[in-house]
Amino acid sequence: MTRPLIGVTTSRRSGWRVYPLVNLNLWLAGGRGIRWGAGRPADLGTVDGIIIGGGDDIAPELYGGRLGISARLDRARDDFERTLAEQAIARGIPVLGICRGAQMLNVALGGTLDQTAWQTYGQQEVIRTVLPRRAIDIIPGSVLERIAGPEEMTVNALHTQAIDRTGHGLHVVARDKSGMPQAVERQGDPFALGVQWHPEHLFYARRQRAIFRALVEAARGHAESRAAVPKAAEA
């Protein structure tokens, strides 16, 4: 069976070390990746799904925030990924957002971000580690629950911002113990899930691999439906 092709956006700063991990997870899930980014060729017509990866902060002017708070900005990447997310949803292409990617999915659909999320939720210690040190609760009845199960999940954290007001069609489906949003999703087609943590670093965990497998399965379904259109036209 052909492996679905997934476009993976990365940071120009850290993509060289993160992309191989993401592609490993895709391969283990039955897919294959191609690295995209601002300045790199990217064509939604050639892929079956996309991953919007982690890294830089999102410029606050994209969602009405204040300038000067975010420290690591890449406006070319912002513009590229926002357009990519908007077009993918409009064309029914499955999307997985990882950390910054979850935030960009939310912004692309009209949502906003909390630039000082750790203070907002009263967390004295800012957790920044690729190790699973943060407990989150998954909302019953969500797509994420169907993918990863209902039990409490322990994840990592490398972010400074978090989702504030959700974008059109998105729902918060996981929160940490302080109430900070940790995942958002669409509950209809196309598949669109954003997780605030980095599952690519947790490839040894069955429930984290299940997130990539869900994207690959959705991408395979998209590829099959796209292939069926010309056949229907010929009939």
Query: Which residues fall within 8 angstroms of residue 168, CB to CB, at 6 or more apart?
Result: 109, 110, 111
Please check whether residue 77 is in contact with residue 12, taking contact to mean a CB–CB distance below 8 angstroms.
Answer: yes
Residue 198 catalytic? yes
Query: Which residues fall within 8 angstroms of residue 106, CB to CB, at 6 or more apart?
Result: 97, 112, 113, 163, 166, 167, 170, 184, 194
In 3D space, the residue among 30, 27, 33, 31 whose CA is nearest the CA of residue 10 turns out to be 33
Please check whether residue 113 is in contact with residue 162, taking contact to mean a CB–CB distance below 8 angstroms.
Answer: yes
- Please pick, among 81, 159, 185, 198, the residue that the annotation labels catalytic: 198
Residue 201 catalytic? no
Give the whole-angstrom CA distance, residue 108 versus residue 110.
6
Give the whole-angstrom CA distance, residue 175 versus residue 193.
14
Please check whether residue 23 is in contact with residue 7, taking contact to mean a CB–CB distance below 8 angstroms.
Answer: no
- Please pick, among 99, 159, 217, 222, the residue that the annotation labels catalytic: 99
Query: Which residues fall within 8 angstroms of residue 71, CB to CB, at 6 or more apart?
Result: 57
Residue 86 catalytic? no
- Please pick, among 81, 159, 185, 200, the residue that the annotation labels catalytic: 200
Query: Which residues fall within 8 angstroms of residue 109, CB to CB, at 6 or more apart?
Result: 85, 86, 89, 167, 168, 169, 170
Q: What are phi and psi of 5, to 5 degrees?
A: -95, 130
Q: Which residues are catalytic?
A: 99, 198, 200
